[in-house]
Amino acid sequence: MSTINWFPGHMHKARKEIAQVMDEIDVVIEVLDARLPVSSENPMVSQLRKGTPVIKLLNKSDLADPQRTQEWAAFYNSLPDTQALIIDYSQKKLISTIPDLCNKLVPSRSNHGRQVRAMIMGIPNVGKSTMINALLGRKIAKVGNEPAVTKGQKRFTLRNGMALSDTPGMLWPKIEDIDSGYRLAASGAIKNTAIEFEDVALYAAEFLRKAYPELLVARYKLKQLPERGDQVLEEIGRKRGGLRPGGKIDMHKASEILLNELRGGQLGQITYETVEEWLLKWEQQRLEAERLEQEREAQEGLEAESQSDRPAQRNKGK
């Protein structure tokens, strides 16, 4: 599998602008995709907010596995200065409580009549602009069904007087985790022109075959579960008009069908990643960082020892 990355110039500009104003922000509202909470969580947000309280909105929860979403909400709520909300656009009443929740997170300002300043952040196509419109109760922010619609920062005032700054949907320069890159591509967070459809669809087919076989079989009326992801795509092509002359399968068409229906929720409620998976990954990363640090210290020790031996060798030569 190849590494998937997408970091247009306006995202780099947005990062610099956010860093400049972050000291003036009281609360960060981070919109996540409930189907892939960590993969849709920009690591630059935690770096930029520097301990500023954050509300994690697990958005598109209507498309996600409900049990997995509850597990993710519990995980985020266990973190310091973090409040998680499970949400989708139909929950207007719950969305309307977000400004009051922001006020509660910074009583030092709200209790003294000072305007609470919030910034809403999120990766492309996670539903950030639609969330802003829901918070405002009117259509202000431009909404699109593909990534990178918002290009610059904007500021709004909500009904309770809270100031809300919008930011462009922002990925990060290098997506280190290979699974995260494919999950972002499968979910639609990365523009179709920046991905190989068949490559991403093959990853998605293999994931579905292992994690949600019953949904795969039901959606495409499969007589039995294929043993490989490419066989899944072949079956989809065969059943959905992807047969070319000579019986050859149009794999690109089959890939488009799978990804479009996966993104649209036609296969059912699906979550791409679990809390347990990421806890294991983070532990492996911690151990690897420790190993590299030990190697670095050992190398520095050898270099220091080598340098201290040089004067003794010169004196011996005299």
Q: 């004196």: which residue's tokens?
A: 315
* Tokens at 197, concatenated: 């459809």
Split at pLDDT 50, 70, 90, the class of 294 is very high
Percent of the chain topping pLDDT 90: 54
Burial 236-251 (b: 16+ CB within 10 A, else e): bbeebebeeeeeebbb
Asked if 267 contacts 201 with a C-beta cutoff of 8 angstroms, the reply is no
Split at pLDDT 50, 70, 90, the class of 74 is very high
3-class DSSP assignment, residue 225: coil
pLDDT tens digits, one per residue of 99-117? 999 989 988 887 777 889 9
Q: For residue 139, how many C-alpha atoms fall within 13 Å in the half-sphere facing its CB?
A: 3
pLDDT tens digits, one per residue of 182-214? 999 999 988 887 788 999 999 999 999 999 999
CA–CA separation, 4 vs 317, rounded Å? Answer: 58
